[in-house]
Amino acid sequence: MNQTNATRRTFLRGTVAGAAGIAVLPSFAAPLGANGDVRVAVIGFNSRGAGHISSLLAIKGVRIVALCDVDDKVMAKQVAAFAKKGLQVKQYKDFRECCADKDIDAITIATPNHSHTLIAMTGIANGKHVYVEKPVAHNIWEGRKLVDAAAIAEKKGLVVQHGMQRRSSPGWQAAMDFVKAGKIGKVQLSRGINFKARKSIGKVAAPVQPDANGRIASTFRDTGGKPQLIDLDYKLWSAPRPMAPVQREQMHYDWHWQWAYGNGDIGNQGPHQLDVARWALGNPGLPKRVMSFGGRWGYKDDGQTANNQMAFYQYAEGAPLLFDNRGLPMKDMNWTKGFEPVFRINGKTSAPRIGNVIHCEGGFVAEAKAYDNEGQTIQKFDGFDEGANHMQNFIDSVRAGKLINSNLHVSHGFQASALAHMSNISYRLGKQMSNAELKERLANDKAGQETLADFIANLEANQIDLGTEKISVGPWLDFDPASEKFTGEFAAEANKLATDEYAAGFELPSIS
């Protein structure tokens, strides 16, 4: 994409009314900067966004011209790091002002989950190319809004890409081609796995209230147990959620385990594996049925999401999908590093602790290798990585004015995040059930029964008494993939959980 073509293009127009009375006026996307550089703003960089910065700084012809974060200390630290490299950047606290800057071509988003879609759509409304981390949406409803906005953006030459790095891995593409070619027969089950130890987030004596100006300045405990003074704009941090008292010891990161902001580990790490799992099934739309069960075991804290959870998805045709999430250690509540459990395929071959297994008639694919049914390696896939060129692919797409690889389309990010949301909705509508009752529900599912037995064994190895701390089992929810609505007995409750509350001034912008 050259400067002349960029100047001639007509881009999206949109208006976003800010909570503080800031109006983002309709604007044209700015042409590429001097010498054709792609000028990027990174929004949110206390955690994953720091990786965005590292990747972007390594790409020739890219200039990070702005940083946006609501936390003063996070901003100061990163600006100082840039200064040591001889680099200067504009500093923004408000994402709306950042997105309105005409000297920015593209934005990358690594804020907490609840604000991903709002910021992405604000970027689109201001004619920006957008890279948004997983999950691309905090709920099903807004995910569809983002995909629809991206479709309009594409017609204007704008790129909207998700953060599913494995979609840029040559090795994973080779594995998918191997499966699609039927080298080991038809797919019978696509399994996603996330065994990642998650300790208690603690329990506060009382929630911390924001001040009259919407700021949080209080003492929280960081992961090292040392006091940490947080000074941020809590109204902007909360957006699009209404401000609520902070009920967790660690302001940053532990929002993952509270429903208003995060989606649990099935919506945190899970989208990566859910994406690969549906990729192995041929990238189907959303399933017709879902059921999930689990619990938050081993401690009493301010977390709300499950730390151990299983989810089952049935599609209109083709093989089912199973997701298995474990957050407790191998046994005895021993949190020594590396002590998560391991699931054994067919009782023999170790499955990845975090990854995928594609079960086929004549064997299975587990990460970088294909095996026969006896667990003997029959093929290894080269170029297997976690998408080292994913950000480079985004920049290449920005220059081309279109996605260079359909694998990178934000719709895949939506589908993966929606799978997580669907399972969480079933789980949240659940009721406590005995092991025997749950086993009966899975009576006709051999893989489900085997995985459940392993799931229960892990809980019991950690001295969880399932007689008193029963599994919370959600209902089978019927879903219409065409309307993306739940149907049937629990439809009203389920569809209510498929969206969120949006604070005044932080509604999703209209894209046309």
Query: Considering the chain, what percentage of its residues have pLDDT values greater than 70?
Result: 92
C-alpha pair distances (Å), 286 with each of 274, 359, 373, 421: 12, 20, 29, 11
Classify residue 399: in a domain, yes or no: no
Helix axes 140-155, 410-428, angle to 10 degrees: 170
Q: Say what the pLDDT of residue 25 is.
A: 36
194/355 Cα distance (integer angstroms): 7
State pTM to two decimals.
0.92
Mean pLDDT of the chain: 91
Q: Please check whether residues 310 and 448 belong to one and the same domain.
A: yes
Residue 209 lies in a domain: no
Domain encompassing residue 253: 215-257
pLDDT in tens, 364-396: 999 999 999 999 999 999 988 888 899 999 999
pLDDT of residue 65: 98
One-letter amino acid identity for 383?
G
What is residue 494's three-state secondary structure?
helix
Strands (E), 304-381: 308-314, 321-326, 344-345, 349-350, 354-360, 363-366, 369-372, 377-380
Q: 321 forms bridges with which residues in the sheet?
A: 190, 313
Domain assignment present for residue 393? The answer is: no
Residues 315 and 446 both lie in one domain: yes
Residue 504 is assigned to a structural domain of this protein: no
Q: Is 1 helix (H, G, I), strand (E, B) or coil?
A: coil
Kindly report, residue by residue over 494-505, the tens digit of the pLDDT: 999 999 999 999
467 alpha-carbon distance from chain centroid:
34
Same domain, 301 and 312: yes
pLDDT on residue 375: 96
Tens of pLDDT, residue by residue over 21-78, are: 333 333 444 445 445 899 999 999 999 999 999 999 999 999 999 999 999 999 999 9
Give the C-alpha separation, 362 to 186, whole Å. Answer: 8
Per DSSP, the three-state class of 43 is strand
Calculate Rg over the CA atoms of the chain: 23
Is 24 part of any domain? yes
Rounded to whole angstroms, the Cα distance separating 107 from 396 reads 14
Task: Examine the domain organization and report whether 179 and 128 are in the same domain.
Answer: no
- Does 16 lie in the same domain as 40? yes
Give me the pLDDT at residue 336, please.
86
* Cβ neighbours for 395, distance < 8 A, ≥ 6 positions apart: 38, 56, 59, 61, 62, 106
Which of 132, 209, 449 is CA-nearest to residue 310? 449
Specify the pLDDT at position 33. 47
> Pairing mode, if any, of strands 321-326 and 308-314?
antiparallel
CATH number of the domain encompassing residue 296: 3.30.360.10
DSSP class per residue in 163-175: --GGGG-HHHHHH
What CATH code is carried by the domain that includes residue 36?
A: 3.40.50.720
Q: Tell me, yes or no, whether 87 and 145 share the same domain.
A: yes
DSSP letters spanning 77-139 = HHHHHHHHTT---EEES-HHHHHH-TT--EEEE-S-GGGHHHHHHHHHHTT-EEEEPSSS-SS
**Is there a domain that residue 511 lies in?**
no
Give the pLDDT confidence of 307-322 residue by residue, as tens digits. Answer: 999 999 999 999 999 9
Domain assignment of residue 451, yes or no:
yes
Query: 129 — alpha (psi -120 to 50), left (phi > 0) or beta?
Result: beta
Q: Say yes or no: 55 and 19 in one domain.
A: yes
* CA distances (Å), origin 91, targets 78, 111, 177: 10, 16, 44
* pLDDT tier, 17 (very low <50, low <70, confident <90, very high otherwise): very low
Q: Which of 257, 286, 307 is the last residue of a domain?
A: 257
Residue 96 has pLDDT above 80, yes or no: yes
Residues 180 and 162 in one domain: no
Number of domains in the chain: 3
Q: Is the pLDDT of residue 9 over 90?
A: no
118 and 141 share one domain: yes
Instruction: Tell me how far apart the alpha carbons of residues 477 and 395 are, in angstroms, rounded to a whole number.
Output: 40
φ and ψ of 338, to 5 deg = 85, 10
For residue 46, tell me if it sits in a domain: yes
Tell me, yes or no, whether 98 and 47 share the same domain. yes
Same domain, yes or no, for 148 and 223? no
The DSSP bridge partners found for residue 451 are: none
Query: CA torsion sign, 146 to 124 to 32 to 66?
Result: negative
Mark whether 266 and 365 lie in a shared domain.
yes
Number of Cβ within 10 Å of residue 431's Cβ equals 10
